[in-house]
Amino acid sequence: MSVSYKDLGLANTEEMFRRAFAGRYAVPAYNFNNMEQLQAIVTACVETRSPVILQVSSGARKYADQTLLRYMAEGAVCMAREMEKAKGAATPIPICLHLDHGDTFELAKSCIDNGFSSVMIDGSHLPYEENVALTRRVVDFARPLGVSVEGELGVLAGIEDEVQAAQSTYTRPDEVVDFVRRTTVDSLAISIGTSHGAYKFKPEQCTRDARGVLVPPPLRFDILAEIEKKLPGFPIVLHGASSVIQEAVAEINRYGGKMKDAVGVPEEQLRQAARSAVCKINIDTDGRMVMTATIRKVFTESPGEFDPRKYLGPARKALVEMYKRKNRDVLGSAGRYGEELTA
């Protein structure tokens, strides 16, 4: 039996993106795999009064179980509303549940039938005409139900969950108008130099600063600017946009990890993108790394610890602070639905 996202209290991305474009900020799209990550995302976004897109990959959906995931999303909305009521917030933040990198019509349909309010159909690995056909098929199913659809042109390199590509292919601005016109998607993910995973750039692509840390090349803002000209007012999405926080990298390595030369997209470049037509920025790896760094620290300092609450709790707290900072300083989404709340 199918369920509508509206019955779960979720929102699609239409109004979110309209406000983001007008306000020159990006809506955070945070991936989650477990309860602690979800709690942290909701807490951070309620407290900073930021809209939020809860992202689930195909792999995360399998990990969590699709039925349980539906109730987790409904619970996330209830949690947000209870927090807002307790703190006297006048305006509820919108919460979207989004499929990240869906690769088949069947997967997108299953997610929609189970309460997702937005889906991405990623046909970027297909020949252009096949990408158009697959994307349009998903749109035709989703649109009557009010579910938003994100398409993709261009290929991001790297590995994240079940998504992997050896090389990136920049989005071709001369294709975007035709693709959007024929598919009627609600937003478009593009490739301008971001990539998936914790190793977004090879050392030979970078320089090194005085500390020996890799400094990646700039994003292709010229491609973004050309796409903006061709699609004025249309919502653009950036995937693979974790900054791979160097403090988290250092902490992981300090407590037994091995993440040499892990590097991501500089946050100042993400802020620049958020002031343009980019209305949604995907962040997954940063959440994984902050959580992993905190858990490694607890295990090293307290090797006898076996209560999950004693290491997942601190990890959740660290995630809350990271997401709040991203909303305020990187995406510009904080304070968009009333004043930030204090504890």
Q: Which residues are catalytic?
A: 100
Whole-number Cα distances in Å, 261 to 100, 204, 206, 219, 245: 26, 11, 10, 19, 12
β-bridge mates for residue 338, sequence order: 336
CA angle 46, 47, 48 (to 5 degrees): 95
Cβ atoms 239, 194 nearer than 8 A: yes
Shortest CA distance to 326 belongs to which of 36, 41, 83, 95?
A: 41
Both tokens of residue 220? 């292709």
Task: Please tell me the distance from the alpha carbon of residue 52 to that of residue 196, in angstroms, as a whole number.
Answer: 20
Strand stretches in the chain, DSSP E: 27-31, 52-57, 95-102, 118-121, 148-153, 158-160, 163-165, 187-190, 207-208, 214-215, 236-238, 278-283
Both tokens of residue 159? 């590995």
Both tokens of residue 182? 């024929």
Task: Please tell me the distance from the alpha carbon of residue 201 to that of residue 210, in angstroms, as a whole number.
Answer: 18
